[in-house]
Structure 1
Amino acid sequence: MGHPIICFGQQPCGFFPKRFLFAKISAARRLQKEIGGEIVFFFHDSDHDPRETITILRDRTSKQEVALNFQFENRIQKQFSPQYAKRVLPEWQEKTARQLPNYVPPPLVAHFKETKCSNVADFCLEMYRRMGLLEGLRVERSSMPEFRARAVAVSDYFVDQPYEGEIVRARYRDGKLLLHKGGNRFLEIPGGEFGPKQISPTRDTRFRWMQSVIRCTHYVAGASEQHYINKADAPNVKFIKRDEISDFDRAYTEL
Structure 2
Amino acid sequence: MAAPIICFGQQPCGFFPKRFLYAKIVTARQLQQEIGGEIVFFFHDSDHDPRETITILRERHSGREHRVNFRFLNSIQKEFSPLYAKRILPGWHSKMVRQLPNYVDRELVDKFQEVDCHNPADFCLKMYGKMGLLDGVRVERSSSPEFRKRAVSVDDYFVDVQWEGETVRARCRDGKLLLHKGADRFIELPSQDFDATQISPTRDTRLRWMQSVIQCTHYVAGAGEQEYLNETDAPGITFVPRMDISESDKAYTEN
Question: What residue is the counterpart of 1:243 in the other structure?
Answer: 243
Question: What residue is the counterpart of 1:202 in the other structure?
Answer: 202
| 1:135-183 deviation digits (Å, cap 9, x = unpaired) | 0000000000000000000000000001111100000001100000000
Q: CA deviation at 1:118?
A: 1.5
Question: What residue is the counterpart of 1:42 in the other structure?
Answer: 42
Name structure 2 gaps, 5 residues minimum. Answer: none
Q: CA deviation at 1:99?
A: 0.6
In structure 2, the residue corresponding to 1:107 is in which secondary structure?
helix
Is the CA contact 1:161–1:191 (under 8 Å) kept in the aligned structure 2? no
Q: CA deviation at 1:97?
A: 1.1
Is the CA contact 1:6–1:40 (under 8 Å) kept in the aligned structure 2? yes
Identity across the alignment (%): 70
Q: CA deviation at 1:2?
A: 2.5
| 1:60-83 deviation digits (Å, cap 9, x = unpaired) | 111001000000111110010000
Question: What residue is the counterpart of 1:55 in the other structure?
Answer: 55
AA at the equivalent of 2:190: P
In structure 2, the residue corresponding to 1:125 is in which secondary structure?
helix
| 1:24-46 deviation digits (Å, cap 9, x = unpaired) | 00000000000000000000000
Alignment of 1:169-208 (within 5 A): 169-208=169-208
Q: CA deviation at 1:90?
A: 2.8
Question: What residue is the counterpart of 2:152 in the other structure?
Answer: 152
In structure 2, the residue corresponding to 1:104 is in which secondary structure?
coil
4+ long deviations beyond 4 Å: none
Structure 2 CA distance for aligned equivalents of residues 80 and 230 of structure 1: 27
TM-score normalised according to structure 1 size: 0.99
Question: What residue is the counterpart of 2:90 in the other structure?
Answer: 90
Name structure 1 gaps, 5 residues minimum. Answer: none
In structure 2, the residue corresponding to 1:158 is in which secondary structure?
strand
Structure 1 CA distance for aligned equivalents of residues 191 and 225 of structure 2: 32
In structure 2, the residue corresponding to 1:208 is in which secondary structure?
helix
Is the CA contact 1:180–1:187 (under 8 Å) kept in the aligned structure 2? yes
TM-score normalised according to structure 2 size: 0.99
Question: What residue is the counterpart of 2:220 in the other structure?
Answer: 220
Structure 1 CA distance for aligned equivalents of residues 62 and 213 of structure 2: 47
In structure 2, the residue corresponding to 1:245 is in which secondary structure?
coil
Structure 2 CA distance for aligned equivalents of residues 247 and 218 of structure 1: 25
Q: CA deviation at 1:111?
A: 1.0
| 1:210-231 deviation digits (Å, cap 9, x = unpaired) | 0000000000001111011110
Structure 2 CA distance for aligned equivalents of residues 74 and 201 of structure 1: 25
Structure 2 CA distance for aligned equivalents of residues 77 and 43 of structure 1: 20
Question: What residue is the counterpart of 1:31 in the other structure?
Answer: 31
